[in-house]
Amino acid sequence: METSTMRDYLKFYINGAWVDPVDSSRTLDVINPATEASAGRISMGSAADVDRAVKAARAAFPSYSTTSVADRVALLEAIIAEYKNRIPDMAAAITEEMGAPATLAQRAQAAMGIAHLQAALTVLKDYHFQEQRGSTMIVKEPIGVCGLITPWNWPVNQIACKVAPALATGCTMVLKPSEIAPFSAVIWTEILHAAGVPAGVFNLVNGEGPTVGAAISSHPEVDMVSFTGSTRAGIEVARNAAPTVKRVHQELGGKSPNVILPDADLQKAVTAGVRGVMNNSGQSCNAPTRMLVPNSRMDEVLAIARAAGEATTVGDPASGATIGPVVSDAQWKKIQSLIEKGIEEGADLVVGGPGRPEGLERGYYVKPTVFGRVNNTMTIAREEIFGPVLAILGYDTVEEAIRIANDTPYGLAAYVSGTDVEQVRQVASRLRAGQVNLNSSAPDMMAPFGGFKQSGNGREWGDHAFAEFLEVKAVLGFAPATKAA
């Protein structure tokens, strides 16, 4: 697919076919954040479109939910084969819609889609949907019709880590991707169609949260809703879902602490911490945005952080720069106001700051920014910025570091670095977060991903993801009770 061609994606995918919206008068320009120009258009759906999609999913559920594991294994294998053919298209779409540098789009963003499909396939092959306990059979059955609402920051990653386990467990579904980054979702849908996903099992309706998202969350025929996005929007999803008592799975915001212990290799840990925040232009919910370091070594830390910040190049996604633009004008303005707030509240500006980087007058580019000597009451230490902005906080004792790390309404991720393995593990055990990364370890596709506190409910990735899409049924008297010997 040529990236220079305008993408007009004006149809929705319902019941195995591309169909016109109920009302085709409402469209939205999708803006390329590197150029600020329109890259294409999508139709904006309504509650009526959601209703059509949900009815299709409901009609497909009785047959799809009773397919064999072997059938679903074959389906996932077909999707993986088709996905492999479309990786260049997927990567190009992601770059265009949300500004990911070409290498990041190819090697990380698009690659995560296939990684989640492969993880679901691996889990499915050995998953126990039945377990006998005495005379009772415990059965795990697909929950039903699932509403999936996904964000723009890792677009296909978030689609895949919901759709893959939903398909694997025998559910049917309606997807609403972010209207800001919808192109990858259309390509994903083309992949599923080409792979032979039965009609009605997967449906796509584009639109915005307050209309399409709310219609999905509140629809009485939707059995569960899985949402990834901001905590504010997640609260709305839960509120809309409450009257129909459907299951709500949420993966929400984060303000993840990165505890660098006194014995850590500072050069390595601080550099990795800065890179971890800057990656994807800081638009990752699990980014290590609060770095906690010993006060006694603050000057050394800030010198290393300055060098790492200055080494983070910004530019056009095709240029080979480390980071591209942030996703939108609204996001750019929000990040700018928070950078200004950091300066106003008295944090030390180590590198970066407000405004666009030099030579980049067009595009939503943000200077890689590091603040030093931040305290945990400052706005930049409390709020999720979702941009390439790091706050460095000092501590005097490890006990104090743990207290500061946990002093947040969020609990998605945490990071710990140090050379004393026992101490690193001990600190990790006391951090209130759903995923703790020790000494910059590599991602694990089977590790559960999700949050404590206001970072959400439930888990994604690997076998833990399956539980979100299953109901547990106990069949008593399934087998004769055995007498005690």
Whether 379 and 232 map to the same domain: the answer is no
Whole-number percent of the chain with pLDDT over 70? 98
Residue 175: pLDDT band (50, 70, 90) is very high
Whether 88 and 230 map to the same domain: the answer is yes
Asked whether residue 47 is domain-assigned, the answer is yes
Residue 250: pLDDT band (50, 70, 90) is very high
Task: Answer with the residue of higher pLDDT: 424 or 482.
Answer: 424
DSSP 344-398: HTT-EEEE--SSPPTT--SS-----EEEEEE-TTSHHHHS---SSEEEEEEESSH
Whether 372 and 227 map to the same domain: the answer is no
List, for residues 188-233, the tens digit of each pLDDT value.
Answer: 999 999 999 999 999 999 999 999 999 999 999 999 999 999 999 9
**Residue type at 252 in one-letter notation:** L
The DSSP code for 129 is S
Active site residues: 251, 285
Asked whether residue 482 is domain-assigned, the answer is no
pLDDT at 480 (0 to 100): 84
Asked whether residue 92 is domain-assigned, the answer is yes
Say if residue 3's pLDDT is above 60.
no
Whether 300 and 421 map to the same domain: the answer is yes
Asked whether residue 2 is domain-assigned, the answer is no
Residue 2: pLDDT band (50, 70, 90) is very low
List, for residues 299-317, the tens digit of each pLDDT value.
Answer: 999 999 999 999 999 999 9
CA neighbours closer than 13 Å in the CB half-sphere of residue 94: 31
pLDDT at 51 (0 to 100): 98
* CATH number of the domain within which 109 lies: 3.40.605.10
pLDDT at 275 (0 to 100): 98
Number of domains in the chain: 2
| Average pLDDT of the residues in 385-395 | 98
Whether 319 and 205 map to the same domain: the answer is no
Say if residue 484's pLDDT is above 70.
no
pLDDT at 483 (0 to 100): 61
Asked whether residue 481 is domain-assigned, the answer is no
pLDDT at 179 (0 to 100): 98
CA neighbours closer than 13 Å in the CB half-sphere of residue 177: 33
Whether 46 and 108 map to the same domain: the answer is yes
List, for residues 41-51, the tens digit of each pLDDT value.
Answer: 999 999 999 99
Asked whether residue 200 is domain-assigned, the answer is yes
List, in sequence order, every residue forming a beta bridge with 103; answer none if it has no partner.
Answer: none
Say if residue 115's pLDDT is above 70.
yes
Whether 233 and 105 map to the same domain: the answer is yes
Please tell me whether the overall predicted TM-score, pTM, comes out greater than 0.95 for this model: yes
| Average pLDDT of the residues in 242-254 | 98
| Average pLDDT of the residues in 141-156 | 98
pLDDT at 417 (0 to 100): 98
Whether 265 and 240 map to the same domain: the answer is no
| Average pLDDT of the residues in 21-49 | 98
Asked whether residue 479 is domain-assigned, the answer is no
DSSP 327-339: S-HHHHHHHHHHH
Whether 157 and 226 map to the same domain: the answer is yes
Closest CA to 380 of 337, 317, 338, 431: 338
Residues 264, 255: Cα–Cα separation, whole Å: 22
Domain that holds residue 110: 7-252+451-473
Give residue 345's region: left, alpha or beta (phi > 0; psi -120 to 50). Answer: alpha
Say if residue 96's pLDDT is above 90.
yes
Whether 248 and 262 map to the same domain: the answer is no
Whether 147 and 31 map to the same domain: the answer is yes
Whether 117 and 220 map to the same domain: the answer is yes
Question: What is the residue whose two structure tokens read 């195995």?
Answer: 16
Asked whether residue 464 is domain-assigned, the answer is yes
Say if residue 68's pLDDT is above 70.
yes
Per-residue tokens: 387? 């941009």
- Mean pLDDT, the chain, integer: 97
pLDDT at 5 (0 to 100): 73
Question: What is the residue whose two structure tokens read 């849908």?
Answer: 189
* CATH number of the domain within which 297 lies: 3.40.309.10
